[in-house]
Structure 1
Amino acid sequence: MKNIFILALALITSSLSAQVLSNKEGNYTEADSLRGSLRPERAYDVQKYHLKLKVEPVKQFISGSNTISFIAEEDLSVIQIDLFENMKVDSILQNGEVLAYERKHNAVFIELDKSVKADEKGEIQFYYSGHPIVAKNAPWDGGFVWDKDENGDYWIGVAVQGTGASLWYPNKDHQSDEPEEVQLDIAVPNGLMNVSNGQFLGEKDLGDGFTQWSWKTVNPINNYNVMINIANYEHFSDSYKGLQLDYYVLPYNLEKAKKQFEEVKPMMDCFYEKFGEYPFVEDGFKLVETPYLGMEHQSAVAYGNEYKMGYLGNDLSGTGIGLKWDFIIIHESGHEWYGNSITANDIADMWIHEGFTSYSEAVYIECRWGKEEALEYLKGTRRGIGNSKPIIGNYGVNSEGSGDMYPKGANLLNTIRSIYDDDELWWKTLKDYTETYKHQTIDTEQTEAFFNEAVEVDLQPVFDQYLRHSQLPQLQFKEENGKIGYRWQADVEQFAMPVDIFIDETEQRIFPTKSWQFFDSEVEDPDDIRVNDLEFYIDSSLME
């Protein structure tokens, strides 16, 4: 039993802190600032990436170019493009002219031959090559995965969320700027297929032992979502309310996949109802089998859950409810709405991705099996929360906050729903938020304001405590002069939040502040009071 418990905790910790960048605790470097800040050399809006790339599995080598089209936001004579320093810059061109550049850490500062004036369009061709970093344990560290399947065919994937897309291709590696479209022309050895984001444009035999597979997105896309997946794939397809569903799996898993991926349709039923239409209808929805657990790669979701229910056959909540569904299908697809469609400007606000997507797991459970099981599941996921660091990280230095952003973010949203105390209003507000900020990059303040505006209760102290401080608010009770008193203990000044409690199994709402209030005579014993901990994630204690 002890070994099983340790395994479960390890799974919780790894899954709920996937892709967290670092725990630098403020020891940031110049490299962090170059990646995390919007410097004058980044004063441009990317319009399109066109990647032409050759992937050589035997050498674990890639080579090619990215044509970067942009609109200048200010006059630009020097432009910053990001590419990991282990990758070679072969040449950079503007209008056919070779450009001079300087490298600093993982940034490349390029002197434009012809300055681009504010509001004008510019374009450069960036040629590069090299052996990209190999992931030690994707997706929890960034890099390429050079693997082979059971038939001995190459099976290659990439996961770079957190680490950065500039690990393998040159780009403006900041979440605030998404290209409006991306085309990928990826050449791989004959007999293999490459699957990327968006719609398939076609394949072309290059006559040199390689075949080029071309794909194109027509919606804004995060840099870390731009992806290649290479294998000897089998393809099958379906549709949902006009949405194209495509699945790419290893040949010997075809029948398993056809059965397992049936869950996509009830998931879409639920998410369409609660969140709105799939945000990337024009690009279609794909599940692609990968040699790592999974990632939310837009319109080409990475799937590596081994066709098991739960999280590799385990339930992260410890309730058994997580074994009723495939964690990777639901969680990573939930990111299409939260993270891919709605994107945090700065990765310090990544709870906007992970908190909402973790909450989408409970939403799916509620659609399928009811609210009570959804609440039980959310409560179970709290065992993965450390409450040792704030959820929000430091801005401008490429810093994510605590891995608590997953389960604590989800439980915060459930707590806010409970404060609403009106499910019709809650679901309307959540759907309105999702559709209002569709295809946009936003920040925490916009999210807070949207949910705050819908209710009379001031939610700002609640957001501040849960997101910007590590500890939960504590509801304290004490007995004094024959009466039972209650108050909040919290970091936030003037903290106040309504909460539901049971008194002798009768539920009622109280409105504690940081000052003591007392029940009337109907409460004689603190043991008669119980917090509704399914709906509110708080601490409570009895003062001596």
Structure 2
Amino acid sequence: MTPRFSEALWTAGAAALAVCVSAPVAAQSLNERTAISGLPLEGPRASMQIEHVDLAIQVLPDQRRIEGSADYTINVSDRLEQLQFDLDPRYAVSRVAVGGAELPASAISNPDGLLTLVLSDAVEAGETVAVSITYAGSPHVARNAPWDGGIVWSEHEGQPWIATAFQGEGCDMLWPCIDNFTHRVDTIETRWTVPGGLVATGNGVLVSENDNGDGTTTFHWRARDPSNYGVVLQIGPYELAERMYESRYGNTIPIRFWHLPGNGKDARRLVRETETYLDFFETLIGPYPFGDEKAGIVETPHLGMEHQTINAYGNRYRPDPLGYDWLLHHEFAHEWFANQLTHASVNHMWLHEGIGTWMQPLYLGWMHGEMYYTSEMWRQRQMINSRVPLVPPEGQLPDYNDREAGWGSDIYAKGSWVMHTLRYLVGEDVTFTSLTRLTYGTDTPVPGQIEPVTRTTDDYRLILEEMTGENLEWFFDAYFYQPELPRLVSARDGDVLTLRWETPSALDFEMPLDVVVDGVEQRVEMPGGTAQMSLPRADAHVLVDPRNQILMYDEAIARWQESR
């Protein structure tokens, strides 16, 4: 997701028929269940795997309405007498067929966003069943996309310019799906029908573009393993800038940017810039996961979102003194950290946002030198709140938009800084090799053999412990499961320096420290979270953590934050 804090601070500072079975709810309200993405997989939803879906939606901009149909191939792991999908109840469901037989209206209900289909004959475990759903309605209008999601009905020079963004709310705002981060459709066909003269972009590869002879055009896309919230409508009077990228892994990746008329020069510049992003990520992490499809970008009337292979871009091509487009880079990082590696629940969202955010200073240092890396890390350090745990307990649903708690910004900046500190603790090789293993499930990913993975924070800890042979629970507990940052307490008594870590954790925080004494640097181990040093003299100059590699409480930053 686009970081809420970045829009101002990074840019300024770094620069959904006639016969209704279920009636839709009031146009402006958002159903409580629909508003939440990632609800636990329970009942039939836990036993349904959507192997394939053919999703066809006609978009009617003048009516601000969509008419959709979805044909599913579903494998079930348990005997089911019902099937269930998540779908915003504002949509009217007019027809459902299971195994080719149409269900009566009495077998279809969706009062609260859980579309329930009562079967006349149960589906047995291991069987595959075909389901067809026809629905229509007016999608929820986004109040502030992408953070408060929905559809955006906009215009460009009198022509419709439309986008959807609903990471926080989920796929059920657009189509009947299983709205859980751990559930990914194996393959999806999307057929977007739009008024003639408009272009409808999509996930994966373009199969066909057909003039229907009635003033509409249908764009047929095909994608594999899409992230559910990444299946979106992005429509406009687009033109295309494109380029082929020769990967260091031997494959060729099409870079395609659908932009508004008049923005071709800037779009071509960002296409070239995207080549450097590809080189960076493939060098540091591994091959672009969707190289057999595309690296896609589309200009949108909202700021941005990481829609798989078709990232939304709305940063208006703003110049940046750092020499890159921070928004485009951040959303592109999510192709690895969100679309390839997907968190198991929203509680582990830092895996998307924190690692993705850390990629930005790393990229700047890779392109321009250490000063750029250091300055961006310092900017991020000022944004850390640490009022609530970075990984809230399971069962507690964190509120991204709660600015008082600050979790919605900590998952970016604090997550990035935890990675910065981890790099110091375990070293360069372990850090980046661990990220490759975390992201692909192997140390040696190969294009064409990459499948998405679902991860938790503990998954990452286990990878690191396997690689280092060390127990790292103390590190993960202090930084992810405790709200407050570790504090370093130091005291001098003559020529003796005492150092002690304090954290809310019950585990000793044994972070070693680099200490410079009169210009001479040494590594100080902290068994039990404490250490004593003998100084050459009582007035020796002591500098702890000289390169600011450890995320710890900083009194000056705390005072500054309190004064704002």
For structure 1, which segment, 463-472 or 435-444, has the greater mean C-alpha deviation from structure 2 after superposition? 435-444
1:239 to 231, 239, 244: 244
Q: Tell me the residue number matched to 1:299.
A: 309
Q: Tell me the residue number matched to 1:26.
A: none
Q: Tell me the residue number matched to 2:364.
A: 365
Q: Tell me the residue number matched to 1:172.
A: 178
Give, in angstroms, the shift of residue 250 of structure 1.
0.6
Contact 1:85–1:105, Cα closer than 8 Å, also in 2: yes
Counterpart residue identity of residue 428, structure 1? T
Q: Tell me the residue number matched to 1:486.
A: 499
Name the CA distance, whole Å, in 2 between partners of 1:391 and 1:457.
22
1:409 to 415, 420, 425: 415
Contact 1:479–1:526, Cα closer than 8 Å, also in 2: no
TM normalised by structure 1 equals 0.88
CA displacement 1:507-533 (0-9 Å, x = unmatched): 322222555432113363596233235
Name the CA distance, whole Å, in 2 between partners of 1:9 and 1:61.
32
Give, in angstroms, the shift of residue 386 of structure 1.
1.2
CA displacement 1:36-83 (0-9 Å, x = unmatched): 111022122221221111100011100111222221121121222001
Give, in angstroms, the shift of residue 135 of structure 1.
0.8
Name the CA distance, whole Å, in 1 between partners of 2:76 and 2:397.
23
TM normalised by structure 2 equals 0.85
Counterpart residue identity of residue 46, structure 1? I
Contact 2:81–2:121, Cα closer than 8 Å, also in 1: yes
Identify unmatched segments of 5+ residues in structure 1: 1-6, 16-28, 311-319
Q: Secondary structure at the match of 1:52?
A: strand
Name the CA distance, whole Å, in 2 between partners of 1:367 and 1:13.
19
Q: Secondary structure at the match of 1:239?
A: strand
Give, in angstroms, the shift of residue 410 of structure 1.
0.8
Name the CA distance, whole Å, in 2 between partners of 1:378 and 1:286.
28
- Alignment pair present for 1:501 and 2:519: no
Q: Secondary structure at the match of 1:348?
A: helix
RMSD: 2.5
Where do 1:246-395 residues align within 5 Å? 246-310=256-320, 323-395=322-394
Counterpart residue identity of residue 36, structure 1? L
Contact 2:340–2:440, Cα closer than 8 Å, also in 1: no
Counterpart residue identity of residue 189, structure 1? P
2:440 to 428, 432, 435: 435
Q: Secondary structure at the match of 1:123?
A: strand
Cα distance change, pair 396–108 in 1 and its aligned pair in 2 (3 A): farther
Give, in angstroms, the shift of residue 108 of structure 1.
1.4
Counterpart residue identity of residue 330, structure 1? H
Give, in angstroms, the shift of residue 234 of structure 1.
0.5
CA displacement 1:465-514 (0-9 Å, x = unmatched): 11111111111112347522111101112222223233334332222255
Name the CA distance, whole Å, in 1 between partners of 2:261 and 2:79.
52
Name the CA distance, whole Å, in 1 between partners of 2:314 and 2:161.
12
Cα distance change, pair 177–472 in 1 and its aligned pair in 2 (3 A): same
Name the CA distance, whole Å, in 1 between partners of 2:464 and 2:386.
23
Counterpart residue identity of residue 159, structure 1? A
Give, in angstroms, the shift of residue 9 of structure 1.
8.2
Give, in angstroms, the shift of residue 458 of structure 1.
3.0
Q: Secondary structure at the match of 2:271?
A: helix
Counterpart residue identity of residue 280, structure 1? F
- Alignment pair present for 1:111 and 2:122: no
Give, in angstroms, the shift of residue 427 of structure 1.
2.7
Cα distance change, pair 30–428 in 1 and its aligned pair in 2 (3 A): closer
Counterpart residue identity of residue 512, structure 1? M
Q: Tell me the residue number matched to 2:53.
A: 49
For structure 1, which segment, 366-375 or 512-521, has the greater mean C-alpha deviation from structure 2 after superposition? 512-521
Q: Secondary structure at the match of 1:384?
A: coil
Give, in angstroms, the shift of residue 267 of structure 1.
1.0
Name the CA distance, whole Å, in 1 between partners of 2:436 and 2:69.
40
Counterpart residue identity of residue 258, structure 1? R
Name the CA distance, whole Å, in 2 between partners of 1:245 and 1:189.
26
Give, in angstroms, the shift of residue 208 of structure 1.
2.5
1:11 to 5, 8, 11: 8
Contact 1:474–1:541, Cα closer than 8 Å, also in 2: no
Q: Tell me the residue number matched to 1:3.
A: none
Contact 2:256–2:271, Cα closer than 8 Å, also in 1: no
- Alignment pair present for 1:152 and 2:166: no
2:192 to 164, 186, 193: 186
Name the CA distance, whole Å, in 2 between partners of 1:246 and 1:387.
39
Name the CA distance, whole Å, in 1 between partners of 2:53 and 2:149.
21
Give, in angstroms, the shift of residue 279 of structure 1.
0.1
Give, in angstroms, the shift of residue 457 of structure 1.
4.2
Q: Secondary structure at the match of 2:504?
A: coil
Counterpart residue identity of residue 376, structure 2? Y
Counterpart residue identity of residue 409, structure 1? G
1:539 to 550, 553, 559: 553
Name the CA distance, whole Å, in 1 between partners of 2:529 and 2:255.
55
Contact 2:289–2:335, Cα closer than 8 Å, also in 1: yes
Identify unmatched segments of 5+ residues in structure 2: 13-31, 247-251, 401-406, 443-450, 557-564
2:75 to 56, 68, 71: 71
CA displacement 1:124-183 (0-9 Å, x = unmatched): 11111111111121111111010011x211100000001111111110000101011111
Counterpart residue identity of residue 134, structure 1? V
Contact 1:375–1:535, Cα closer than 8 Å, also in 2: no
Q: Secondary structure at the match of 2:63?
A: coil
Q: Tell me the residue number matched to 1:37.
A: 40
Name the CA distance, whole Å, in 2 between partners of 1:286 and 1:407.
26
Q: Tell me the residue number matched to 1:132.
A: 139
Q: Tell me the residue number matched to 1:4.
A: none
Counterpart residue identity of residue 39, structure 2? G
1:203 to 206, 209, 227: 209
Give, in angstroms, the shift of residue 394 of structure 1.
4.3
Give, in angstroms, the shift of residue 86 of structure 1.
1.8
Q: Tell me the residue number matched to 2:475.
A: 462
How many residues in Structure 1 have an aligned counterpart in Structure 2? 509
Counterpart residue identity of residue 40, structure 1? G
Contact 1:362–1:374, Cα closer than 8 Å, also in 2: yes
Q: Secondary structure at the match of 1:158?
A: strand
Cα distance change, pair 45–453 in 1 and its aligned pair in 2 (3 A): same
Name the CA distance, whole Å, in 2 between partners of 1:203 and 1:397.
45
CA displacement 1:334-375 (0-9 Å, x = unmatched): 100110001011111111111111111122112212344213
Cα distance change, pair 430–122 in 1 and its aligned pair in 2 (3 A): same
CA displacement 1:177-221 (0-9 Å, x = unmatched): 10111111111011111011111111222233211111111x211
Name the CA distance, whole Å, in 2 between partners of 1:93 and 1:523.
85
Q: Secondary structure at the match of 1:451?
A: helix
Contact 1:475–1:540, Cα closer than 8 Å, also in 2: no
Cα distance change, pair 524–107 in 1 and its aligned pair in 2 (3 A): farther
For structure 1, which segment, 260-269 or 156-165, has the greater mean C-alpha deviation from structure 2 after superposition? 260-269
Counterpart residue identity of residue 412, structure 2? Y
Counterpart residue identity of residue 145, structure 1? V
For structure 1, which segment, 280-289 or 530-539, has the greater mean C-alpha deviation from structure 2 after superposition? 530-539
Q: Secondary structure at the match of 1:208?
A: coil
